[in-house]
Amino acid sequence: MSYHRILILRGGALGDFVLSLPALAAVRRRWPAARLELAGNGRAAPLALAGGLVDAARSLDTADVARLFAPDADLPDEQRDDLRSRDLIICYLHDPDGIVAANLARAGGGRLLCVAPLVRDVHAAAHFLRPLRELGVETDETAPRLDLGAEQRARGREWARGFGGDVLAIQPGSGSPAKNWPLAKFVALAGEAASTLGLKPVFMLGEAEERIRNGLAADRRFPVAAGMSALELAERLSACAAYVGNDSGVTHLAAALGLPAVALFGPTDPRIWGPGGPNGRRTVRVIRAAALTSAALAAVPVEGVLAELRGLVRP
């Protein structure tokens, strides 16, 4: 079956988006001549456009999308005509009552494939890929990969040159404090990486990490980069020598960009949520705490993380 106008609806935060990259890439490869549009997280969706995976990207936070969640929605003619023009719609939105699916089906158009985004028994990237087999999409490439263009990579290199050496990106936050290795250990790791590996640690912080920023304020040894868009973050990460972080969207992004990355996991299961870069174990090391608890994560020693980092950057 050939499709010419494809719409993909994908919610979730940055990490959810990155874990959807193999699915986006598989659709792009299957129908390379199709016009592929993504409606997704407003912060993350532009990355798909920058990586050449889609032809257009927009935010889900619009009135058009909100209408789809209303039972028996009365869609404006313009929205109905737009949906009808799509010969394939893939919906990954959380829709337990089938309201969105019913509204999309009522609008008409071509093939509709709805996939529950809740992941249970397989790795998340495989979960998003598996239903695409119904469309004849077959692939073994489950590792997320984001290839930025030359202009984006050049901007990243220009930023990194300002630090006078190989930058070690450190992201000490995540979507939940329970998933965070102690900040004091990240700071200790930064000191060891600078003195023994010759790296230049830079702490990369998100918008909602004021507490971490305050915790770093007393120690002026290491610069802090904050206030970046997702694309700016990706550009800068692409120019780094290595990365260390928790189970977070930034960690998934770093791995997808191909960085040598060390990821720390505590309460979450890396068998489902672990990051995977294009070069697999050669560039991504997951440190799994002794138990799926925050306390076990906090007990992970700095020396163990440093050893994994050393194995990646000084093999």
Query: Hey, what domains does the chain have and what are their CATH numbers?
Result: 5-135 (3.40.50.2000), 150-313 (3.40.50.2000)
Name 109's Cβ contacts closer than 8 Å, sequence gap at least 6: 83, 84, 85, 86, 87, 89
Integer CA distances (angstroms), 2 to 51, 111, 135, 140, 274, in order: 23, 11, 10, 21, 34
In the prediction, which pLDDT does 102 show?
Answer: 97
Q: Which helix (H) or strand (E) holds 39?
A: strand 35-40
In the prediction, which pLDDT does 208 show?
Answer: 63
CB atoms within 10 A of CB 283: 21
In the prediction, which pLDDT does 206 show?
Answer: 78
d(CA 161, CA 119): 40
Check if the beta carbon of residue 245 is closer than 8 Å to that of residue 269: no
For residues 146, 152, 33 and 20, what is the CA-based torsion angle, rounded to 10 degrees?
Answer: 30
**pTM of the shown model:** 0.94
pLDDT tens-digit profile, the chain (315 residues): 889 999 999 999 999 999 999 999 999 999 999 999 999 999 999 999 999 999 999 999 999 999 999 999 999 999 999 999 999 999 999 999 999 999 999 998 799 999 999 998 899 999 999 999 999 998 888 899 999 999 999 999 999 999 998 999 999 999 899 999 999 999 999 999 999 999 999 999 876 677 888 878 777 789 999 889 999 999 999 999 999 999 999 999 999 999 999 999 999 999 999 998 766 557 899 999 999 999 999 999 999 999 999 999 986
Name 168's Cβ contacts closer than 8 Å, sequence gap at least 6: 190, 193, 194, 197, 199, 200, 201, 202, 240, 241, 242, 243, 244, 309
Per residue, the 3-state secondary structure of 238-274, as one string, reads HCCCEEEEECCHHHHHHHHCCCCEEEEECCCCHHHHC
In the prediction, which pLDDT does 17 show?
Answer: 94
